[in-house]
Chain A
């Protein structure tokens, strides 16, 4: 990287590819910026369409966040609506709901990190251990189906299976534990049910990205390892896991930015009068305020708060990854 002689470039890039952070570069060999940019003119050309896209469709609309500081009304528009400064943020932080919603959101986020995030990795690793290609493909093609069913359908199925006294799963659990389970109403069961739904719906779909990463592993490596006497566990630890390690890290960092996004529709459909105290999260709150009550500005303010938390988390996770000598996002 220091200069662009082929050898150093290759070595530098290889170092990066092997998940090692760059060594401090000897400054004296650095070519002038203009020269380096000209040398990679084609790379900039490749960047252009993407940059234009982000400018038009992502950055141009961003003036929309200003409505968090207004009393926005669609008809009056962005310039016609009155400015109110931080009013909506004050309302949010002083609201009696705020800490309850924050707590509910964080608890769900935590459960997502513990259960939902690792699930596709585990399943991908297990799938990778299946030798019979037809079976493997058949299982793969089955487990990703739930991704296509809407939350409305998932909720209807959950209500069917977990209904009080008559749901098949409720009956099974009642007879196993000799208790009367009220899964749908009991606030203690709300989070387990949500996590179960998410696991069911997203795990199979989540494996795809890891399976794609695993497709890049050279089968000869396993052969060599077996000859060296490595058992299945050792092969997984030393060949398979390293192959998807950087994907795991990237997925973890990406997830951290959306930690407070717990989904709206799923939770909304599972909420009732008896479990609302644990069910209300930012996404349902924003929906309720923004759509049902037309509080565009307030709900944007809540969204902005979430985004700030997200950006802190994502950069924090990236920093952490690099501290542990992993490839970060940049």
Chain B
């Protein structure tokens, strides 16, 4: 690229790169999507077809038995509602707690900040383990409540650090200007910083929502009342490989594993709702332009 080029005239090299890039990424997208399409196809196929065809993307005969069964149960609809509720409330709480904690930690001049940061980092590698955490949840009276699914996971230290890092990247000028205008630190955080943070809020909301949605350990340990179970309990119950149970000597001789088609259908109904969350959030990633204009 020796001569000056303007945006209107892309070079051949640039075009070749674009083409190759698109081909590569589309291929990647196809490779990642195909297995999921197989799961969907399998959920609509008969057992005999699943057993006789190795890999297929559409069943010869569409059979909806698995879905009929799932939708006929109270369990599915109830646990879907519970999961949506817990995920929504949980995500709001998690994002709120994470962002309020990350903001002060982004201020290098704040006395005591390093000690707290180190304490946070420490928890990323050291944990007390399942049993003491259970005992704490129990002593707090959270057993069998939805709070047990949210509060023990309220802040993920990894995400906290990422948000803190994001706040450090924010230009200080705007915050300072607001402070001169008489805003408290709280006001700056609420009126200046948070509006600038839409891409990272969207990202964190996605991460947290997906984590709660996919969590089966918390309901397993903390929720005894089956009417409060989340979708993942249903999914786990249906899809956990019988191999694993077998190695643990837990397989009941009278146990007949669920049909393949039903397993696939359960995966589909438990995954599709949360999958739709990302495209919905995607538009917020574009909002970062505001931030860019400040930086430039």
Contact = CB atoms under 8 A, between A and B. Distances in A.
Interface stretch (B18-26, B69-77, B82-90, B221-229): B18-26
Given A62-B132, A218-B296, A220-B296, A9 B32 contact: no
A173 to B, nearest CB: 16
Contact of A64 (B132, B152, B286): B132
Interface in A120-175: 123, 126-127, 129-131, 135, 137-150, 152-153, 155-157, 160-161, 166, 168
Chain A interface helix/strand/loop/mixed: helix
A223 B160 contact: no
A150 B239 contact: yes
Interface stretch (A89-97, A102-110, A306-314): A306-314
Contact of B291 (A148, A216, A303): A216
Contacts of B119: 54, 59
Given A47-B116, A64-B128, A42 B185 contact: yes
B251 interface: no
A327 B239 contact: no
Interface string B95-124: 001101101110111111110111111111
Contacts of A204: 28, 32
Contacts of A6: 176, 179-180
B212 to A, nearest CB: 13
Interface residues of A, number: 113
B58 interface: no
A46 B100 contact: yes
Given A57-B133, A168-B54, A311-B125, 13 more contacts: A13-B172, A33-B111, A47-B104, A47-B116, A50-B100, A54-B155, A64-B128, A130-B18, A137-B279, A150-B239, A152-B241, A212-B203, A216-B291
Interface of B: 1, 3-7, 11, 13-14, 17-18, 21-22, 24-26, 28-33, 35-36, 38-39, 54-55, 97-98, 100-101, 103-105, 107-114, 116-129, 131-133, 135-136, 140, 151-152, 154-155, 158, 160-162, 165-166, 168-173, 175-176, 179-180, 184-186, 189, 199-200, 202-203, 206-207, 210, 214, 239-241, 243-244, 247-248, 267, 271, 274-275, 278-279, 282, 285-289, 291-293, 295-296
